[in-house]
Each structure stands twice: as structure tokens, then as C-alpha cells.
Amino acid sequence: MKLAIVGAGWAGMAAAVSATQLGHNATVFEASHAIGGRARALNSSKICMLPDGQSAQLDNGQHILIGAYSATLDLLRQVGIDPDQALLKLPMTLQFPDGLGLRFLNLPTPFDAFFGIVSARGWSLADKWSLLRASLSWQRKHFSCAANLSVSALCRGVSHKVMAELIEPLCVSALNTPPERACAAVFLRVLRDALFTVQGGSQLLLPRTDLSSLFPTAAAHWLKQRGVQIRLAERVTSVHRLGEHWHVQAEPFDAVIIAISASNAALALQQWALEAPQSIASKMHNWSSISQALQHEAIATVYAWGLNARLAQPMLALHSSATAPAQFVFDRGQLGNPNGLLAFVVSAANGTAASLQTQVLMQAKTQLGLELQALQTVVEKRATFACTPGVQRPPLRIAPGLLACGDYVEGPYPATLEGAVRSGLAAVQAL
């Protein structure tokens, strides 16, 4: 098939690689000058100069992977990236600067989770038993629950300390939605894969390179070697059905995959529906209305530097609150960047970049004992959809020969890199 893919983020590039593997003739359209979508390196013109004279390539936000991200890891290998080289592999760790918290042991699944819970530092026997009891209950129910249940309601029997030091950080990092508003069914699905069923699924995989190099750039090189066109800085303004074909920018294609953000896709479909037959226009409008109804959450990444600043581990959990908003901090100096460079992540962020930056620097001083200098704060205001109970996500199929993919499209995973990749692969398989 001659296939048009609109958007060169992780979902679109995953779709392009999968389509090419299956023998389809794909063309990728990207409105910007860069590929990678929301998980990419900042433009080369924004190379960060550190106070000590060194330079660092920053990302459009700090991302991690876990061992359960099987589709993403397979895709990296397909385009020539060795995950063992590109990613630092660590046991699941949610430890705080004082060394307290959870750290899994290097054991087969699910024994790594069990012994990690039993050996958690700073938790009483009652804390540990509350989590073990809840975990066994979730397993007996096959990690399923009512669609309208929140994570807070799901974990009602878990102790306050475990909620604060495990459930809340896991929930906001995986679903980017606070536990009181987050969907328990999706949370359980992530827990099932990460902690209890997939061997090595709980392992943290921290990128040792910038996010563009991790996948999108390698994918583009792999695609170009196979004759695939990637048209950068070409915004698609016209998609309409004519006879047996879809016409994109007046060029005929057998099928089209829309791989852009939820809001941009909704606006584009409303515009394209003006030229469509009524039967197709109604489907476009219906898909657009579902997409527009999604609520979104912001993610902020505060990059900061300090002379000789080094964490005890490449990633630490932080005690977060309204005035100390970061949930995690990453030592980029241990991940291939110059020493002293740290990245603080604020999931479900509220407030301006300036206010978040000020609060995070104070949080670093209070919780890490570090006097840091802010370098850059990146706020992605519509980073993910709010993964709330019963949320309706737009379907994969829009109309015959017209499909959508992205981390917000209907699927088993929340808005993660794995969710984006799986969505891209599913769109191609649905052709």
C-alpha cells in the first residue's frame, strides 16, 4: 500500500518503521523542522552552555523507560539501537535522598517486587503488610477493577506512608494524574506488566543519550536507507477522499495515518471534514469531538547545575507538595552529560515556568542540600491526557483507510513512550 503518515513523533515513526517492514510504501509528513514530537532533544540552537564552560544537549523533558516496554525495546533494536548501550539498566528504585524507600532486588519477577517490599527501608511491618495484602488482592482479581474506580479508592487499605512514598510517585509518573483523579484500571495494567508478570519488567531504563538519538534520529536514518521520504517542515493542509484513494496535499494514497497531538488532530479533522462526503465527515466530526473532550496535564522539567553536584543514585524520588512540586530528580552527569547537571521532573504540573523553577531550586536546597543554578525550565502544557476513571479515548479507526495513532488513542497503556509506540504499530496492523 502507498501510505501517508502525518506526524513524525514516536508513534508516527513507529508506524513508518512497521509499515516499511511489512512492505508498504510510506511517506512521512512533519510540520516542524524536527522529528520526535514531545520526546526529543531541544533544537541544536538551544545547546546549553554550563557555567563551567561545558555544553550539554537538553531534552524537551526527562523521560524514562522500564523493562516492560517490550514494543519500544524491540523497535530500538530494529533501527540499530542497542538498548544495553543506550539505556542504563537499574532495579526499580523509589528511594529518597536519605536512603529510605523502596529498592527492588535483582531477582526474577515477581520475587524482586516481593523482597523489595519486605526490605523497604523506613517502612514499618504494618506499612509493608498493607502493600503486600493489597498486591495479593490485585493478583487474585487478575489486575482488573471497575472502570470508574480511582487509584486512591483502589488503595484505600494501603498505609499513608506507602501511599506517599510509592503509590503517588508511581501514579503521577506513569499516568501523569494525581491518585485521587487517576484511573485505577489503567494503573493496575501498568503494575501488572511492570511488577508482576513481565520478566525484568520493573527495571528502570534511563537514557544515556538525548531522546532524539535514542529513537527518532535512528529511525529516520533506517527509513531513508530504505527509500522512505520524510518531509520536514511540510504541514499537511488538505486530506480528502477521492474515489478509492485519500489525497494528501493533492497526492493520492491508499491509506492515511494521523500521528499528531490530540488537539491538532481534532482541529485538522474538523477542517478536512469540510471537503468530505457526509458519511465520512460525520465520522471525522465524531472522532474530533471525542479527542477535544480529553483533558490534559502538564509536565515540567527544570534543568539546574551545581559545582560538584552529584546524587547518590542516577535517579532519586523527592517528597513533593504544593510548594515542593518535583517528584523525581535525575543526575544527568551519571547519564552521559557533564557532571553537575540535574533534571527535576514535575508531573501534573501547575503554575508558571518561573514559579516552578523557583520552588524546585528551594526544594533542591531543602531536600538535597544543594545550591543550584537554574539553566532552563521546559513546560509541556499539554504533555499527556488526564487518565481519569472512565475516560473515553478516540478510537484507532476514523474512517475507511483513515486511522489515528498516538499515546492518547484508545489502547491499554497511558500516555507513555510505550503507549505511543504500541499505537503506531497497531495502526499499521489495522490497515
- Residue 44 pLDDT: 65
- Residue 43 pLDDT: 82
Q: Rounded to an integer, what distance in angstroms lies between the CA atom of residue 17 and that of residue 159? A: 45
Contact 335, 206 (CB under 8 A): yes
Q: Is the pLDDT of residue 329 over 80?
A: yes
Q: How confident is the model at residue 195 (pLDDT cuts 50, 70, 90)?
A: confident
Whole-number average pLDDT of the chain: 95
Q: Is the pLDDT of residue 96 over 80?
A: yes
Q: How confident is the model at residue 6 (pLDDT cuts 50, 70, 90)?
A: very high
Q: Rounded to an integer, what distance in angstroms lies between the CA atom of residue 36 and that of residue 26? A: 17
Contact 391, 183 (CB under 8 A): yes
- Residue 113 pLDDT: 87
Q: Rounded to an integer, what distance in angstroms lies between the CA atom of residue 3 and that of residue 255? A: 5
Contact 158, 136 (CB under 8 A): no
Residue 277 burial by CB count (10 A; 0-12/13-18/19+): exposed, middle or buried? exposed
Q: pLDDT tens digits for 235-273?
A: 999 999 998 999 999 999 999 999 999 999 999 999 999
Q: pLDDT tens digits for 298-316?
A: 999 999 999 999 999 999 9
Phi, psi of 421 (to 5 degrees): -65, -45
Q: Rounded to an integer, what distance in angstroms lies between the CA atom of residue 176 and that of residue 185? A: 15
- Residue 45 pLDDT: 60
Strand partners, 397: 403
Mean pLDDT of 376-387: 95
Instruction: Output 154 or 109, whichever has higher pLDDT.
Output: 154
Q: Is the pLDDT of residue 109 over 90?
A: no
Of 101-110, 150-159, 217-226, 265-274, which range is least confident?
101-110
Q: Which amino acid is at 75?
A: L
**CA end-to-end span of the chain:** 9
How distant, in Å, are the alpha carbons of 39, 205, 417 from that of 70?
A: 18, 12, 11
Domains of the chain: 2-36+215-295+394-429 (3.50.50.60), 44-73+296-385 (3.30.70), 92-202 (no CATH)
- Residue 46 pLDDT: 65
Mean pLDDT of 158-176: 93
Pairing of strands 229-231, 25-29: parallel
Q: Is the pLDDT of residue 382 over 80?
A: yes
Percentage of the chain beyond pLDDT 90 is: 90
Q: How confident is the model at residue 196 (pLDDT cuts 50, 70, 90)?
A: confident
C-alpha cell of residue 301 = 522539567
Strand partners, 296: 385
Q: How confident is the model at residue 100 (pLDDT cuts 50, 70, 90)?
A: very high
Contact 2, 256 (CB under 8 A): no
Judged by phi (left if over 0) then psi (alpha if -120 to 50, else beta), residue 280 lies in alpha
C-alpha cell of residue 208 = 544515556
Q: How confident is the model at residue 334 (pLDDT cuts 50, 70, 90)?
A: very high
The angle, 0 to 180 degrees and rounded to 10, between the axes of the packed helices 70-78 and 10-21 is 60
The angle, 0 to 180 degrees and rounded to 10, between the axes of the packed helices 278-292 and 262-272 is 160
CA atoms lying within 13 Å on the CB side of residue 24: 23
